[in-house]
Structures are given as structure tokens and as C-alpha cells.
Amino acid sequence: MYCLIRRVTGRGKESLEYRDSELLTDVLTIGRGADQGISLQGPDIEVHHARIARKHDGSLELRASSTAQVELNGKPVRVAVLSPGDEIRVGAHRLVLLPEQPGFDLAIQVEYGTTDDEAMLASGDFVKQRAQYTWISKSRLAWLLSSVVLLLAFIVPLAGLFSEDIAGMLRDQRFLPSDNFWSTGPLATAHRTPEIGNDCNVCHQQAFHQVSSQACVSCHREMHHHVPEDSDHHAALSDQQCQDCHKEHKEPGQIVRRDQALCTDCHDDADAIDAAATGFDTVADFEQDHPAFRLTLLEPEFADGDTRWQARKAGTDQAPLLEHSNLKFDHKKHLDPEGVELVGGKRKVMECADCHVEDAAGALMKPFTMAGECKACHSLAFDEQAPDREVPHGDVDVVLATLDEYYSKLALEQNPEVRRSSVRRRAPRRPGRSGPAPAPDQVLAWAEKEANLTAEDIFERSVCDTCHEVERIEEPEPGEAEWRIQPVRINSHWMPDAVFAHRDHAMVECEDCHEARESEQSSDVLMPGIDSCRECHGGTSSAAKLDSSCVDCHVFHNPSMGLLNTALERGVAARPVLPNEESSSQ
């Protein structure tokens, strides 16, 4: 059963608090034991008091243990069928079955009552009944206990602040209080390292002061700023301490804040973040108030004989979205339900995963290559009489040199007229005599002519032109090739400012997000918009959707903003060059 347990705490209508938890179990157990699904305390509650289970007909059955006292709607019961609205009394506690909740087999509200011992303590009778049999008055007892607490919890641990030897000795003794006595909880798992151990002074460098950011970045040297150092907001954020967001000694809670307020406290006010200067829009909630996704698109720019790829931002709400990678590609043709023809004549019905493969981290897709994904369908063969001989992929000069070598060797090994009559016509000869060998200049001319004809064919019609933008140079410079293939850059990270993992979305089909089946141009941008993500992801108050906060997709410490503490020995970190900003002449 998938159970929703709603616990009610507090006193009075105005101070009531509701805490929901979810539990997947075959049987919902109720009792005093720590392993019970609903743990209740009281002198009249047994370790295993009662249980709720689903019968074969789908109804819910309450069954009390043989000696337990349970009331259903004011009447004692041992076994009973439950319905929404039923009230179960277990000792001083009240359990109410809630109406059916979407996605849950059982919803129950637990209201904790006051036990007899708690009532006695609250009235003071408990202390009176026991103190009246001793010679110690309440006043003397209070002073005595206060002195003991002051000695053990403050004075003895305080001695460790004046001497590391005393501090170490106290920490090593099991029965003596040390400064660990002041800890509000255990260290986070990530901080349980040999370097820290039990030495509080590693982080708490000044007594009775909050841990400083300097202490944090002395270990966490790769933490970065959230905004540029020359930003107006940098000074305000610099006043904050790491401890303002990262709360230690709070396990089982997380040391990294994941609540939406971490970001929306600033970003839900466009005036506060100076939207005109930063380019950021107001964001308050992913489902209710979030701008359209902004993609980083790459565009080639040719200058000084080199191609540089310039990044530009564009929203997914802008149409049409185009990006020019200099690659010719037709998704519709490759995803033809009838299949595509492979090298050798066979046909194959292709899927997205034939070309798009996750990287090792499961986040982005690996770049596809000619030798990897393309070669099964696209051949680099250039001579039908030698189908296994191919030109290399990637460099025009190497392709031309390969063709020159191939036809020169062919001309030297056999008479060219065996293949073509481009050198000379075969002269009549007598039986038993070999024909005259072609002149060397004729052999070289034939080889050069064949190489040039083949090069023109593969660059402009058959091989390279199939996938690449090829430019023919009418008057090449000396030593310059006659053809230039425009460099290709396939965008691998459309949203570098966001966090996304394909592996986490393995249950979703590719075409649910990427409309590739009808795309005929490689310039089509097939990234989904925010509405596609909102089909599954909602804000922090959304119903029947994944609760998604800002830090699920964004990081606070931005790697492009420089180190958080530039005074460390590592110095000021240079802004890294993003992959989308690199230049290429390939």
C-alpha cells in the first residue's frame, strides 16, 4: 500500500502544524515500537498494538492485537472494516481516515493526545509526589542540577579552548564532556574526513562565532562566485557567509539548501536584480512564473582565413529557431519508417539511439563521428573497381594527396589503357609481341587527369557534398587546394547555464521532447520549450507533478564567475573558455 500519513502537532487551532509523509508498505502497523509505521507513546499502548491492511476485495481492515484496546467511532473493536471519515482511538491518540487522495491507497491523519504522565508533569504533581519524600527542597534541587549542568556542559569543555592538549584529552575520554558536547548534531557525511576528525577547531576557528567563509574556502578552493566580481550585486553577496545557506550539524537534513526561496528571494523581483542589465527575467515558480528557455546557438563567422563560432542567445518562444552548423542532414529521411540503405545494399529502420549516445555521465550526448555512426550508411569509396579503397575523412589536402598516390601507383603498375583509353588507342600488334609502353609523360598526365576528375566528383557530387557545404575556389593560391569544406560544429550543450541529465529521463521517448521526425534541415533547432517540461515538472506547490525547485536545474556557484576567495594562494582564477566559444578551422 502507498500510504499518506498526516501528523498534526501543536495546541489550539492557530498553532496547529501538519506534516505529511509517505510510506510504502504491505501492512500499516500502529504501536509503541520504533519500527511501527505509526509510532504512538503511552502507558496503555502496546509495542504492536494494531494494524491496517488491504483485503482481497480492496477494502481496508483494522485488526487489533489480542490484548490491545482500540475504539472505532466510539465503540471497542477487535476487527473492523474501515471507511473514509472513521475515527480510531488508540490510548489518548486519535486517528482519522481521510478521503481518498490521488495516488495513495490509504490516507490517515494522526492527532497526538496527552498521556497521563505528560499531564502530571505539566501540572507539577509528578515532581511534588517525588520531592516530598526527600530532604532536598525544589529550590536546592534546582540549584544543584544547574551547577552540575554548568560544570559539565560549559566549564569543563571550555578548558579545551585554552589548551589543545586538554581539548584532545577530553575528546578521547568517553565519560568526560568535551567541546563536542555543544554540537547540535553530527557532521554531514561529506565532512567526516580524516582532516576534520573530531577537531571542532578546524572549522570553528574563533570561539562563540559562526564559522567564517574563510574557513570553508580554505578546503573548498574550487567554489565560485554567483555573480561577476564587477557586478553591483557582488558586494551584497560577499557579505553573506557560507553558513547562511549551508547548515551543518543538521542531519538527517541536507547541508545544501534546495528550497525555492534560496533563489526566488532575489529573482522574483526584476527591479532587485536589475533585469535590464543582467538579462534575467523575474522568476517565482517553475510552473506559474518562469520565462521561456533561452538557448545558446552557434553561428559560424569567417575572418582572416579562420572560422570562429559565435554564441548567441535565443528564446524557445522565438520562431523560427535556426542554427547553421554547415552540416547537411535530414532527420526525416534518416527516420524513414521504410528504413535507409546501408553500405552493401541492406536496409535498416533507424532509431535516435543509433546516432545519439549518452556520455559517461549520462548528461549530454557524445559527438557523433564519420568513423563511428555515419560509416555504416555513408561510404568514402571513390573507385567502383576498388570498392574497399576509401579516401580519408577530414582534410582536403590529404584527400587530394591520396588520390594522386592511388592513380600514380595504378599507372605504374598497369597500362592505363586496360582501364580507359584516355592515354592512347591500342595499336594493332602481332601475336606474341607486347604493345608499346606508354610514354612517361602520358602516364603522369593520365594519373593527374584521373585524380582531378575523381576529386571533382567526390567534392561536388557524390561523397563530400552529401553531408558538407563545399566551396570551389576558382583561382586558388599556389599550394592551395581547389576546394574548401566549410568547418562543422555540432552544438552539444544548448543550455550551458542549466543542469540536465538524459539518464534521469530514460523513461521518456526521445520524440516526446524532440520533434525530429519531420525535420528536413540540419538548421532546425529541435530543443523542447518549457511547456514540454511542465508536463511532468511543477513548482513547489504543484499537485500530481514532480516537485521541482530552482537548484534542480541551476547551480548557485557559477564556474564562469571566478573563485569565491581570490586571496588564496591559487590566485584569481581566469574565466574559463566555454566549449561554445572555441574557434575551429576544421
DSSP E strands in 10-160: the ranges are 17-24, 27-31, 38-39, 50-54, 60-64, 71-72, 75-76, 79-82, 87-90, 93-97, 106-111
- With cell 498534526, the residue in question is 8
The three-state secondary structure class of 351 is coil
Pairing of strands 483-485, 470-472: antiparallel
Reduce the secondary structure of 391-453 to three states and give it as a string: CCCCCHHHHHHHHHHHHHHHHHHCCHHHCCCCCCCCCCCCCCCCCCCCCHHHHHHHHHHHHHH
Residue 50 phi, psi dihedral angles, 5° rounding = -155, 170
Last residue of a domain, one of 89, 121, 153: 121
Residue 356 lies in a domain: yes
Q: Residue 506 belongs to what domain range?
A: 294-377+489-528
DSSP E strands in 2-74: the ranges are 2-9, 17-24, 27-31, 38-39, 50-54, 60-64, 71-72
Residue 103 lies in a domain: yes
Residue 60 lies in a domain: yes
Cα 515 from Cα 339, distance rounded (Å): 18
Pairs from 191-195 (Cβ < 8 Å, separation ≥ 24): 191/248, 191/255, 195/219
The letter for the amino acid at 370 is M
Measured at the CA of 4, the angle between CA 7 and CA 255, to 5 degrees, comes to 70
Report the pLDDT value the prediction gives residue 581, as an integer from 0 to 100: 38
Provide the grid cell at 586: 576544421
Report the pLDDT value the prediction gives residue 488, as an integer from 0 to 100: 93
Provide the grid cell at 566: 581570490
Report the pLDDT value the prediction gives residue 134, as an integer from 0 to 100: 56
Residue 351 lies in a domain: yes
Last residue of a domain, one of 74, 92, 121: 121
Report the pLDDT value the prediction gives residue 586, as an integer from 0 to 100: 30
Residue 433 lies in a domain: no
DSSP letter assigned to residue 380: -
Last residue of a domain, one of 86, 121, 156: 121
Let me know: does 8 contact 112? Beta carbons within 8 Å. yes
Cα 562 from Cα 558, distance rounded (Å): 8
Domain count, the chain: 2
Residue 188 lies in a domain: no
Burial of 548 per CB tally in 10 Å (0-12, 13-18, 19+): buried
Residue 476 phi, psi dihedral angles, 5° rounding = -70, 150
Burial of 104 per CB tally in 10 Å (0-12, 13-18, 19+): middle
DSSP letter assigned to residue 370: I
Report the pLDDT value the prediction gives residue 574, as an integer from 0 to 100: 36
Residue 117 lies in a domain: yes
Residue 35 phi, psi dihedral angles, 5° rounding = -90, 5
The three-state secondary structure class of 98 is coil
DSSP E strands in 197-345: the ranges are 294-303, 306-315, 340-341
- With cell 597500362, the residue in question is 415
Report the pLDDT value the prediction gives residue 426, as an integer from 0 to 100: 39
DSSP string, 533-568: HHTTEE-TT-SSSEE--GGGT--SS-GGG-BS-TTS
CA atoms in the 13 A half-sphere facing the CB of 578:
20
Report the pLDDT value the prediction gives residue 514, as an integer from 0 to 100: 94
Please tell me the pTM assigned to this model: 0.59
CA distances from 523 to 98, 122, 331, 490, 493 (A): 54, 74, 11, 10, 16
Indicate which CATH number applies to the domain containing 11: 2.60.200.20
Residue 253 lies in a domain: no
Cα 563 from Cα 573, distance rounded (Å): 6
Nearest to 546 by CA among 511, 514, 508: 508
pLDDT tens for each residue of the chain, 586 residues long: 889 999 988 766 667 788 899 999 989 999 988 889 999 988 889 999 999 999 888 899 999 988 889 999 999 999 999 999 999 999 889 999 999 888 888 999 999 887 555 544 454 544 455 555 555 667 778 888 888 888 777 777 777 767 777 777 777 776 777 766 666 777 888 888 888 877 778 888 887 788 888 888 888 888 888 887 777 777 777 777 888 888 888 766 678 888 888 888 888 876 666 655 566 778 889 998 999 999 999 999 887 778 889 999 999 988 888 999 999 999 999 999 999 999 888 999 999 999 999 999 899 999 989 988 999 899 999 998 888 899 999 899 999 999 999 998 888 776 545 444 444 333 444 444 444 555 667 778 888 999 999 999 999 998 999 999 999 998 888 888 999 999 999 998 899 888 999 999 999 999 999 999 999 999 999 999 999 999 999 988 888 899 888 989 998 888 888 887 664 334 333 333 333 433 333 3
